[in-house]
Structure 1
Amino acid sequence: MKPLRVAVVGVGHLGRHHARILGALPGVELVAVADSRPEQARIIAEGLKTRAVADYRELIGQVDAVSIAVPTVLHREVAGAFLERGIAAMVEKPLAGSPAEAEELVAIARASGAVLQVGHIERFNPALAALQASPIRPKFLSAERLAIYTFRSTDVGVVFDLMIHDIDLVLSLVDSPVRSVSAVGVGLFGDHEDVADARIEFENGTVANLTASRASYATSRKMRIWGTEGYASLDFGAKQATVVRPSEEFLAGGVDLEGVDLTQPSAIKEHLFGKVLRVDRVEPPTCDQLTLELQEFVAAARGEITPRVTGAAALEAVRIADRIVRSLDAHRWEGDAATSPALPAQAASALRGPHAWSRARLDRRSRATS
């Protein structure tokens, strides 16, 4: 088979791993790596024995596929340039920083016939695969994605940076249109929100509560799902899943408590989660999610499969993320800021918590537009 000519645009924290993995895949020729920082491109290229370029446009016409790991604000420009020429593109999440730009990329790919895959890497997490082996139709979902501030992805807020993962997962699990979105959020380190909490309600009645923070002391990537078939707890960080389902005996209407010491909580728990409820703890073999994702991209670029995270799927996640950001921006912590009197400097400096952060953010916006 003729090697698939591939390049990586943006070889920073994440892109360098794209280049490393693609360069090692069978049937793939890593033609070049591109980065606006020539020295960074040179270092990565030398380590992988490939070519370095500073301008990604030099690669057009020289590659069959490209993996793009540049800042979100550049996704439309960079990915669009390749998709317009019919070149398959794998774009890191989110697809774009706005629904309008995401829609343009999907339209360009559709018009040119180019493959467009988006890097929602949690779709390849073994914990999710374990859930798919024990299907549960969600009625209520709760997710938390907490991270320490890394000073990366500062061109977007935590909704487009971290929560977008869980938005995509929820949309892939719930087969129903979104009815409403409400959210609150605060910014700590800049003009974008760093902590956010969102509630998504679907037309079929399903509800999802999502929490994301990039200002957390500890990290956590977990999701809990409740449905009529049972309950699932997914730990995306540990790549583990626990699925709890009613036993056949319980479904048949019988709960035998004979021999159970009801005065001992431990005995009740052991009986409940073993006889009444079936507990399956799944610890799938460790795998490299990024490798799986890029292997799928290579197969899709060759026309062998359709990627599981298409441009259309990623567009829906961007649309919901945008609704969440607009909802949290509209929230007022202390009434309507437009009509609130300005606080004296000494009073403002004494404020603590979301009100102070929200006011500082609004003050910056006011100065920017004045």
Structure 2
Amino acid sequence: MTRVRMAVVGVGHLGQHHARILAGLPDVELVGVVDNSAEQARVIAARHDTTPFTDFEPLVGSVDAVSVVTPTIYHHRVAAEFLRAGVPVLVEKPICRTLAEADELIALAEKTGVPLQVGHIERFNPAFEDLLRRPITPKFVEAERHGPYTGRSVDIGAVLDLMIHDLDLLLALIGGPVRGVSAVGASVFGGHEDMVNARLEFDNGCVAHVTASRISQRAKRRLRIWAPEGYAGIDFVTRKLTLVQPGDELRRYGLRPEKMDAAARARLKDEVFGRYLQVLHRDEDRKCDQLTSELRHFVDCVKTGRRPRVTGEDGRDALELAERVLGALRCHAWNGSPEGPVGPGAFPKPTGWLFQPTSERREAA
């Protein structure tokens, strides 16, 4: 069996896991890892018996494929060099900083005829894969993606760091186009936005509320969908899918509590789930690692020339929608007037200390 010669460019928090997984795949030869920290490159290379580099350019002519896991600001430069040389690229999300950069990568991949895959990892979450196999027409969606502050990905904000995952999932699930976008969010620590809420209105009538925060105490990543077919809920952390659909009796006759006698109404709360609404819990294999699935898929595309599940165009579409959210975010007037504070970096001044009730403040005064 011919092994695919691969390298990982950027072996920080996430990239080192790319290196670990690729080094363990039987049809992959990890020929090198790259990091601008010579010590980090040396440590990860020693761990996987490969060669460390501080510059990616020596590897351009020496690999069959590459995984680009650098900060977003370097995605275009690194990926473009490999694509020009006809080397397939997996680039982490977001695909690039700008749509122009994304368009150039897509054009290069098309010109050289090699796969360009974008690392929207939740597409490979088994709960989402299960949902896509089911007949569902979303009409209202809530997506939440919250996590603790890590100090990583400081070159981008919560929209491109976190929310873009769910924007990609919504586009994959609902399609487009998106008719309207409104958003509100704040920069808590300064710089980029740290928490965001967006409302998306799709041409097909679906409405989605999407929130992202990177200053939450606990991680929460879930998707909830209401549709004519029923309800679907995904917990991306536990990889659990919950489905609720109307039972046959409810579909045929409906439910008219006002016509029930007192005894029937008393039983209703115990019969709603089971008799009228059917519930199915799909607890996917928790040992399943979506990063491994994503990398295996990419390697298969390299070997077969198949089109990746998450293409460069998909990455561009998610980036375009993210830019629309950011645009709406920057235009939000906190006091309802453009003369007042506008945008995530101009949060209104506080009226006092939250932990001190108003009555205590008055007494202290």
- The answer to which of 247-256 and 41-50 deviates more is 247-256
2:321 maps to a residue whose letter is I
Matched position secondary structure for 2:142: strand
Distance change >3 Å, CA 2–CA 281, structure 1 → 2: same
Contact 2:9 2:67 in 1 (8 A): yes
Matched position secondary structure for 1:183: strand
Q: Does 1:277 align with 2:277?
A: yes
Task: State the alpha-carbon separation in 1 of the partners of residues 269 and 7 from structure 2.
Answer: 55
The corresponding residue for 1:319 is 320
C-alpha displacement of 1:49: 0.3
Contact 1:183 1:199 in 2 (8 A): yes
1:201 maps to a residue whose letter is E
2:53 maps to a residue whose letter is V
Q: Does 1:38 align with 2:34?
A: no
- The percentage of aligned residue pairs carrying the same residue is 48
Task: State the alpha-carbon separation in 2 of the partners of residues 22 and 260 from structure 1.
Answer: 64
C-alpha displacement of 1:127: 1.6
Task: State the alpha-carbon separation in 2 of the partners of residues 236 and 107 from structure 1.
Answer: 33
Matched position secondary structure for 2:156: coil
Distance change >3 Å, CA 124–CA 348, structure 1 → 2: closer
Task: State the alpha-carbon separation in 2 of the partners of residues 329 and 91 from structure 1.
Answer: 27
Task: State the alpha-carbon separation in 2 of the partners of residues 86 and 190 from structure 1.
Answer: 41
- The answer to which of 178-187 and 96-105 deviates more is 96-105
Distance change >3 Å, CA 312–CA 348, structure 1 → 2: closer
Question: 1:108-160: per-residue Cα shift (whole Å, max 9, x none)?
Answer: 11111121001111111122123224321101111110111100001001000
Contact 1:245 1:279 in 2 (8 A): yes
Task: State the alpha-carbon separation in 2 of the partners of residues 339 and 146 from structure 1.
Answer: 29
State the aligned residue count.
Answer: 345
Distance change >3 Å, CA 167–CA 348, structure 1 → 2: closer
The corresponding residue for 1:79 is 79
The corresponding residue for 1:246 is 246
The corresponding residue for 2:330 is 329
C-alpha displacement of 1:27: 1.2
Q: Does 1:11 align with 2:11?
A: yes
Computed over aligned residues only, the root mean square deviation of the Cα atoms, in angstroms, reads 2.1
Matched position secondary structure for 2:253: coil
Distance change >3 Å, CA 349–CA 72, structure 1 → 2: same
Q: Does 1:308 align with 2:300?
A: no
Structure 2 unaligned residues grouped into runs of 5+: 342-347, 355-365
Counterparts in 2 of 1:168-317, with a 5 A limit? 168-253=168-253, 261-262=263-264, 264=266, 267-286=267-286, 287-317=288-318
The corresponding residue for 1:126 is 126
Question: 1:184-215: per-residue Cα shift (whole Å, max 9, x none)?
Answer: 11001221100000011111111111000001
Task: State the alpha-carbon separation in 2 of the partners of residues 269 and 162 from structure 1.
Answer: 38
The corresponding residue for 2:362 is none
Structure 1 unaligned residues grouped into runs of 5+: 341-346, 354-370
Could you tell me the TM-score, scaled by structure 2's length? 0.89
Task: State the alpha-carbon separation in 1 of the partners of residues 9 and 186 from structure 2.
Answer: 32
Task: State the alpha-carbon separation in 2 of the partners of residues 240 and 192 from structure 1.
Answer: 32
Counterparts in 2 of 1:156-175, with a 5 A limit? 156-175=156-175
Task: State the alpha-carbon separation in 1 of the partners of residues 198 and 189 from structure 2.
Answer: 20
Contact 1:4 1:28 in 2 (8 A): yes
Distance change >3 Å, CA 255–CA 202, structure 1 → 2: closer
